[in-house]
């Protein structure tokens, strides 16, 4: 999935916009107008249902190699600033919007969104019926797509001639698929850095030391831990177990990130070393999928994934429903009706329960080890962007560390576990998606 071949400088707006096309691998072609940089980009086209927080979305490394369709119709009205980005650059492969704001209207805006995208060479389109495109992706599933504008449009493309469309389809269909993609190494920090305690804990001894493995981490995640008095060592994806243990962590965190968890063999082996060391573990998003694979469960690709800031999740530990922020196209395949023995190595890691489920489709949204100090969730409790309902999970992690140091072998809970498992639907969760088994890791 390639970067743009050409790019403009300052974005063109209104009547000056050039024609553009968005082409999906199943043959759907939609006319559009050039937005941000012009040129060519390809990637997996996905949709995000968030009505706000586009700056956090575009700078989230988890969207690496993805073209993001914003379902909210008006994008860019709050501009961009230097406080809200989740990393040092825009990571999305492309942007699709319906109505591009002519100018920002917010006291916090420092620059225009379109100019920011153009300056970073991000190819996009506007004047697209994003509702129709989203419905198409919901029915057909996410797939590879390309955006073409400016010099990247072949002769005859404006008339959608068969020859021009075939040329563009060939480009799209030659792009790598997301299934099997090992991408965390492409977005991870090149060197370790430390985030010291902040707020009331600034300048004081940390309450704990946590090693956060950067698989595409968002800046607000270590900030959440630092605000609770934790010193966070953010380390590269390639970190070895010996290097991790040399930092003498009280706990280990695995972040969100892009790609297929089945391809992340190094990260899974690293996590197994953490579990063997009985270190308290907390993972989110990609980290949840990696915990599932480390425990011996499979993962599978969702038809169109969960992306946005409005997903209802049942926390089966507390019985509460929380509205949460998501960005994932893969999920863990684990039993939801009752705790199960983790399959890896004949049950080496004991029993595990599915702690969270998505109330829209019963997808596994969290795991909790019953015999180890380890838990994970599939969504984003750091709320960047999104609701703050799940920020308490960082408190849960800190309590787990405290209890582990105090000699309590059982992971912390906020309330007794529910005795009746959440109802699961009779229909398979993966009717039009592929599962990936874990047979090679169980051997």
User: Binding site residues for L-glutamine, as ranges?
Assistant: 62, 257, 259, 286, 289, 327, 329-330
The C-alpha atoms of residue 283 and residue 184 are separated, in whole angstroms, by: 15
Q: With contact defined as beta carbons under 8 Å apart, do 289 and 435 qualify?
A: no
Q: With contact defined as beta carbons under 8 Å apart, do 366 and 376 qualify?
A: yes
DSSP 80: B
Respond yes or no on whether the N-terminal peptide bond of residue 268 is cis (omega within 30° of 0): no
Q: With contact defined as beta carbons under 8 Å apart, do 316 and 327 qualify?
A: no
Q: With contact defined as beta carbons under 8 Å apart, do 98 and 105 qualify?
A: no
Phi first, then psi, for residue 358 (nearest 5°) are -85, 125
Q: Are strands 94-96 and 99-100 parallel, antiparallel or unpaired?
A: unpaired
Catalytic residues: 285, 380, 382
Q: Where are the alpha helices (DSSP H) in 26-182?
A: 54-58, 113-119, 130-140, 162-173
DSSP string, 220-260: HHHHHHHTTTEEEEEE-TT--HHHHHHT--SEEEE----S-
- For the record, the structure tokens of 436 come out as 């990936």
- The residues facing 69 across adjacent strands are 47, 96
Helix (H, G, I), strand (E, B) or coil at 103: coil
Respond yes or no on whether the N-terminal peptide bond of residue 385 is cis (omega within 30° of 0): yes
Q: Which parts are annotated binding residues?
A: 62, 257, 259, 286, 289, 327, 329-330
Which long-range CB contacts under 8 A does 347-354 form with residues at least 24 apart? Answer: 349/275, 349/294, 349/295, 349/296, 352/295, 352/297, 353/316, 353/417, 354/316
- For the record, the structure tokens of 376 come out as 């994970």
Q: Which residues of 409-420 are buried (b: 16+ CB within 10 A; e: fewer)?
A: eebbeeeeeeee
Phi first, then psi, for residue 248 (nearest 5°) are 50, 55
The C-alpha atoms of residue 260 and residue 283 are separated, in whole angstroms, by: 16
């Amino acid at each position: 999935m390639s970067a743009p071949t050409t790019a403009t400088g300052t974005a063109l707006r209104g009547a000056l916009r050039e024609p553009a096309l968005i082409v999906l691998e199943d043959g759907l072609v939609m006319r559009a107008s050039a937005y941000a940089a012009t040129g060519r980009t390809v990637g997996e086209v996905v949709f995000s249902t968030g009505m706000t927080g586009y700056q956090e979305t575009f700078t989230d490394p988890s969207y690496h190699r993805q073209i993001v369709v914003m379902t909210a119709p008006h994008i860019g009205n709050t501009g961009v600033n230097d406080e809200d980005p989740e990393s040092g650059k825009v990571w999305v492969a492309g942007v699709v919007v319906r109505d591009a704001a002519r100018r920002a209207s917010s006291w916090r805006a420092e620059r225009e969104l379109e100019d920011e995208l153009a300056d970073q060479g991000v190819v996009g389109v506007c004047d697209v019926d994003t509702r129709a495109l989203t419905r198409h992706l919901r029915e057909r599933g996410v797939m590879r797509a390309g955006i073409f504008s400016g010099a990247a449009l072949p002769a005859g493309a404006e008339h959608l001639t068969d020859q021009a469309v075939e040329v563009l389809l060939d480009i799209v269909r030659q792009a790598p698929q997301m299934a099997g993609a090992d991408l965390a190494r492409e977005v991870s920090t090149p060197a370790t850095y430390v985030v010291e305690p902040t707020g009331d804990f600034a300048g004081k001894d940390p309450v704990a030391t946590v090693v956060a493995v950067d698989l595409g981490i968002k800046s607000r995640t270590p900030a959440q831990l630092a605000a609770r008095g934790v010193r966070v060592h953010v380390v590269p994806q390639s970190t070895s177990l010996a290097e991790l243990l040399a930092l003498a962590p009280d706990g280990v965190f695995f972040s969100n990130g892009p790609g297929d968890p089945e391809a992340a063999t190094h990260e899974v082996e690293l996590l197994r070393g953490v579990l063997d060391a009985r270190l308290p573990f907390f993972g989110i998003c990609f980290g949840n999928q990696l915990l599932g694979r480390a425990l011996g469960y499979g993962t599978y690709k969702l038809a169109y994934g969960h992306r946005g800031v409005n997903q209802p999740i049942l926390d089966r530990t507390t019985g509460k429903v929380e509205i949460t922020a998501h960005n994932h196209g893969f999920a863990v395949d684990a039993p939801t009706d009752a705790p199960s023995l983790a399959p890896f190595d004949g049950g080496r890691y004991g029993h595990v329960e599915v702690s969270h489920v998505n109330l829209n489709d019963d997808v596994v949204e969290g795991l909790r080890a019953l015999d180890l100090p380890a838990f994970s969730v599939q969504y984003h409790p750091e709320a960047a962007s999104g609701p703050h309902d799940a920020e308490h999970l960082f408190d849960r992690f800190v309590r787990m560390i405290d209890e582990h140091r105090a000699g309590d072998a059982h992971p912390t809970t906020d309330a007794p576990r529910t005795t009746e498992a959440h109802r699961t639907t009779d229909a398979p969760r993966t009717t039009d998606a592929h599962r990936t088994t874990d047979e090679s890791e169980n051997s």
